[in-house]
């Protein structure tokens, strides 16, 4: 599926208004999610967006494929040193102020840009890009709705194949294979430095309570010390909570969802906790309305958990491993804005898409939690894009 030209034009035009407002002559982009967003192709690109006029899409690899996939004109990039010449060949002056994605740009590459533009100064445009990308168009939301169609079928498949004694890794592998057969793209893109992610967290019992390097309340113990997240070789047992936290991707757009399964009933304690966490999710959904400040919503939710439930110490982790958010933006990257997090000043806008994920961690017992992706639209609360019931599934 090609990104419509009208969609690309609107994205570039919006960004150019930001460049003009901030006195930036042009911006040179390399982050894969950003270049995909503005061009419609995920090939190896440098994209120069001037403050006025058409972007210059320079493809290092693969040029022919980028030409087929991108609605803008594409030129072959024979070497980074030629970028200034491409800009001049397009009838543009070399930028005196050049915008770069300084949140992700390696220092060595930045130094090369400084040599290419010796008369220029450099500013960070990553915040402007991330805030633009946080607000999805109708076309993007339609892509997210397509992604949401996969998880319900994967969950039904999980109910068919789950049995006592199968390993977490076996379950994860079978679920991933099913998701791929249904159109899941397989690659979960993240922006953060050193961030790694696979399918999600398919984990069970006490393994689900293991803290790890990934900034999440529930990540799983992982297969080894080199990959300390997700499924293990441990066997799934009767009566323990099974976390099926999965990201599904269609045409690059990601939906993040979690449900809890169990083979036989959970303990009364965990069952009660799950019903509470469903209430928490609904409170978050209702609070996600245009004009509200993300950090204030986070504090409201923490206050409710503290005052109305016995689970303050278990909410979003345990001990020093608790995380400071209850939701995160999703789209072409898994870690987009806004985050419903401590101290966030982001004012919510219609079209922002958030994965809300309240979870409770009980050391020695397991995890209960839920996650749904929603889109902020009206004062009635966010609209849920997920297509699955929120009830606990006992097999």
The residue written with tokens 């060949």 in the block is 89
* R_g of the chain computed on alpha carbons: 22
Find out whether 258 and 390 touch, Cβ atoms under 8 Å: no
CA distance 59 to 53: 19
Confidence band (pLDDT; 50, 70, 90) for 213? Answer: confident
For strands 325-329 and 353-356, give the pairing: antiparallel
What integer pLDDT is reported at residue 303 of this predicted model? 98
Confidence band (pLDDT; 50, 70, 90) for 199? Answer: confident
Task: Provide the whole-model pTM.
Answer: 0.96
Helical packing angle, 32-39 and 5-21, nearest 10° = 120
Find out whether 34 and 147 touch, Cβ atoms under 8 Å: no
Confidence band (pLDDT; 50, 70, 90) for 246? Answer: very high
Confidence band (pLDDT; 50, 70, 90) for 206? Answer: very high
Tell me the per-residue pLDDT of 293-338, one tens digit each, with 9 for 90 and over: 999 999 999 999 999 999 999 999 999 999 999 999 999 999 999 9
CA distance 76 to 56: 11
The β-bridge partners of 366 are 362
Q: Could you tell me the maximum CA-CA distance found in the chain, to the nearest angstrom?
A: 71
pLDDT averaged over every residue in the chain: 96
Task: Walk me through the domains of the chain, giving residue ranges and CATH numbers.
Answer: 5-134 (3.40.350.10), 138-394 (3.90.230.10)
- Overall average pLDDT of the 348-357 stretch: 98
Find out whether 271 and 362 touch, Cβ atoms under 8 Å: no
The residue written with tokens 């290419």 in the block is 116
- Overall average pLDDT of the 373-395 stretch: 96
């Amino acid at each position: 599926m090609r990104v419509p030209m009208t969609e690309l034009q609107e994205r570039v035009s919006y960004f150019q208004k930001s460049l003009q407002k901030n006195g930036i002559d042009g911006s040179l982009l390399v982050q894969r999610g950003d270049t995909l967003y503005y061009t419609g192709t995920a090939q190896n690109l440098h994209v120069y967006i001037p403050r006025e006029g058409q972007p210059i899409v320079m493809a290092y690899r693969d040029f022919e494929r980028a030409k087929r996939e991108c609605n803008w004109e594409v030129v072959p990039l024979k070497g980074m040193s030629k970028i200034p010449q491409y800009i001049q060949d397009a009838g543009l002056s070399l930028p005196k102020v050049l915008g770069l994605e300084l949140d992700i740009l390696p220092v060595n590459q930045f130094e090369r840009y400084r040599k290419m533009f010796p008369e220029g100064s450099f500013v960070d445009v990553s915040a402007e890009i991330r805030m633009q990308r946080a607000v999805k168009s109708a076309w993007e939301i339609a892509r997210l709705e397509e992604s949401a169609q996969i998880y319900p079928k994967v969950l039904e498949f999980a109910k068919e194949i789950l049995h006592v004694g199968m390993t977490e890794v076996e379950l994860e592998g079978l679920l991933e294979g099913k998701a791929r057969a249904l159109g899941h793209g397989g690659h979960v893109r993240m922006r953060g430095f050193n961030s790694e992610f696979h399918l999600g967290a398919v984990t069970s019992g006490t393994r689900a309570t293991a803290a790890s390097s990934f900034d999440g309340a529930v990540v799983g113990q992982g297969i080894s010390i080199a990959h300390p997240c997700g499924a293990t070789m441990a066997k799934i047992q009767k009566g323990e909570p099974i976390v099926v936290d999965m990201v599904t991707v269609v045409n690059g757009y990601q939906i993040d969802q979690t449900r809890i399964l169990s083979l036989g009933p959970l303990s009364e304690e965990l069952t009660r906790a799950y019903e509470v966490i469903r209430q928490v999710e609904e409170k978050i959904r209702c609070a996600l309305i245009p004009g509200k400040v993300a950090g204030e919503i986070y504090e409201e939710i923490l206050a409710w958990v503290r005052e109305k439930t016995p689970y303050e110490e278990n909410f979003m982790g345990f001990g020093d491993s608790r995380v400071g958010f209850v939701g995160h933006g999703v789209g072409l990257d898994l870690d987009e804005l806004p985050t419903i997090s401590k101290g966030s000043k982001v004012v919510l806008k219609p079209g922002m898409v958030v994965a809300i994920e309240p979870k409770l961690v009980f050391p020695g017992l397991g995890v209960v939690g839920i996650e749904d992706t929603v889109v902020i639209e009206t004062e009635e609360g966010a609209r849920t894009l997920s297509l699955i019931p929120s009830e606990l599934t006992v097999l």
